Amino acid sequence: MKVLMITVFPPMKTAEADHALHLCKQLADYGFEMHVISQKGCIIPSHPRITVYPVMRQWSWSELPRFVWAAHRCSADVVFLVYIGWIYNYHPMITFAPTIVKAFRRDTHFVTLFEDAHGACPTSLVSRVIRKGLARWVGPSGVDYHFGTLLHDSNRLIVRSSSIRSPLAERFSGVNGKSVEIPCPPILPILPGDDGTVRERKRKDLGLKDDEFLIAYFGYIYPGKGLETLLKAFQIVNAQRRPVRLILIGGDLGLSPTYIQKIQGMSKELGVEDRVTWTGGYAWDSEEASRCLRAADICILPFDQGVCMHNSSFAGASAHGLPIITTHGTATEPMFIHKTNVFLCSPKDPEALAQAMETLLAMPELCERLAMGACRLAREWFSWEKAVERTIGALKCETT
């Protein structure tokens, strides 16, 4: 089967680009002939079953001929769009991709993967005019203001979690009937941790003492991740003269250039700068993040809105078998069970987060239980094997 994937690839700084590249390689390994329309300057994998067309710049209407040329050239059986608004500059052009592709290949099976529930913002006069023209062509009932014809004209939809599916279903009644939920698997190489060698070496590199407890944060650094809460909570625990260190694994997206400076400045203001390590960004195929997670004793993911199944950082931490402290929000799914596979606390509450840290510091048996629960959750929901199997089912339009 020939599959055309529409996505961005590294070196663009985004978890979605990393995931798309890993998934593309996995599908190619399964025997699919993969063709990819991506941005100029993207990585081109050296895989015999992957062909990349790095032709897009702004994903705008002016580049529609370029997009059509590449899509028509590969004559795919299936078109697979990885969609999240900001990687396409919130431009509406790509939201009409199913209609555009089916205009010259009517029987093409079109699958859209929604990484979140935020669509395009057609604010310019040109975008509004073109959108109205397409709405007249397709019919107004088939066009959504933010998602174009993705919801109506895609044959299958993949969503990362129910918290993404629900708002999409409110916009188009057919979403539930043609969507499948596939949480994001770990998007980093995972080093073995059986013999403790990786852990020992990394802890030595970090200058950790034998009795020091290493707390890890894993993921890109940007607003909404709860890093302000984490640093304040860490200050509270550190003030008790606990032998604790904090490592923040990940770089920024480049969308808020001053934010990481603000957060790093906050660690100085709180007086914990010498107890905090910042790894910065790393390449999509780097093993450095896995080394750091192997060195850690627990992982903290203090999301401002609470944890959800679509959080790829949770998938990565759970795959390493770490006890995880995270936050409970209104959209947190029932698979996250307090004191069984996660330790849940309120978001934006430094005192509650500090108490959770203290609890795990004092209760190694609870840490062991959470680690075992995280491993089970990873196997049941976040494994690459299951993700690829279900993605193939969606590409072949199989029911689940």
Q: Please tell me whether residues 29 and 143 are part of one structural domain.
A: yes
Phi, psi of 281 (to 5 degrees): -75, 165
Q: Please tell me whether residues 118 and 246 are part of one structural domain.
A: no
Do the domain assignments include residue 191? Answer: no
Do the domain assignments include residue 389? Answer: yes
Q: Please tell me whether residues 334 and 391 are part of one structural domain.
A: no
pLDDT band for position 400 (cuts 50, 70, 90):
very low
Q: Please tell me whether residues 114 and 162 are part of one structural domain.
A: yes
Gap between the Cα atoms of 45 and 38, Å rounded: 12
Provide Rg for the chain, Cα atoms. 22
Q: Please tell me whether residues 214 and 328 are part of one structural domain.
A: yes
pLDDT digits (tens, 9 = 90+) for 205-219: 999 998 999 999 999
Q: Please tell me whether residues 227 and 373 are part of one structural domain.
A: yes
Enumerate residues 6+ apart whose C-beta is below 8 A from 277: 206, 245, 246, 247, 248
Do the domain assignments include residue 360? Answer: yes
pLDDT digits (tens, 9 = 90+) for 58-94: 999 999 999 999 999 888 999 999 999 999 999 999 9
Strands of the chain (E only): list them.
2-6, 33-39, 50-56, 78-83, 109-114, 156-159, 179-181, 213-218, 244-249, 276-280, 298-301, 324-327, 343-345
pLDDT digits (tens, 9 = 90+) for 284-330: 889 999 999 999 999 999 999 999 999 999 999 999 999 999 999 99
Do the domain assignments include residue 365? Answer: yes
**Parent domain of 316:** 197-381
Assess contact for 220 and 250: CB atoms under 8 A: yes
Enumerate residues 6+ apart whose C-beta is below 8 A from 202: 291, 292, 294, 295
Phi, psi of 354 (to 5 degrees): -60, -40
pLDDT digits (tens, 9 = 90+) for 108-139: 999 999 999 888 886 666 666 666 666 666 66
How far is Cα of residue 220 from the mean position of the Cα atoms in its chain?
Answer: 10
Q: Please tell me whether residues 375 and 390 are part of one structural domain.
A: no
Gap between the Cα atoms of 54 and 36, Å rounded: 8
Q: Please tell me whether residues 325 and 365 are part of one structural domain.
A: yes
The mean per-residue pLDDT over the stretch 166-176 comes to 93
Q: Please tell me whether residues 26 and 167 are part of one structural domain.
A: yes
CA distances from 59 to 37, 63, 195, 256, 343 (A): 11, 6, 47, 21, 41
Do the domain assignments include residue 26? Answer: yes
Q: Please tell me whether residues 147 and 264 are part of one structural domain.
A: no
The yes-or-no verdict on residue 104 having pLDDT over 90 is no
Q: Please tell me whether residues 178 and 209 are part of one structural domain.
A: no
Q: What percent of the chain has pLDDT over 90?
A: 80
Q: What is the CATH number of the domain that holds 245?
A: 3.40.50.2000
Q: Please tell me whether residues 165 and 246 are part of one structural domain.
A: no
Q: What is the dihedral of CA 205, 219, 277, 234, to 10 degrees?
A: -130
Do the domain assignments include residue 284? Answer: yes
Do the domain assignments include residue 53? Answer: yes
pLDDT digits (tens, 9 = 90+) for 356-393: 999 999 999 999 999 999 999 999 999 999 999 999 99
For residue 159, which amino acid is it? Answer: V
Enumerate residues 6+ apart whose C-beta is below 8 A from 209: 243
In the chain, the number of structural domains is 2
Gap between the Cα atoms of 302 and 175, Å rounded: 30
3-state secondary structure of 337: coil
Do the domain assignments include residue 255? Answer: yes
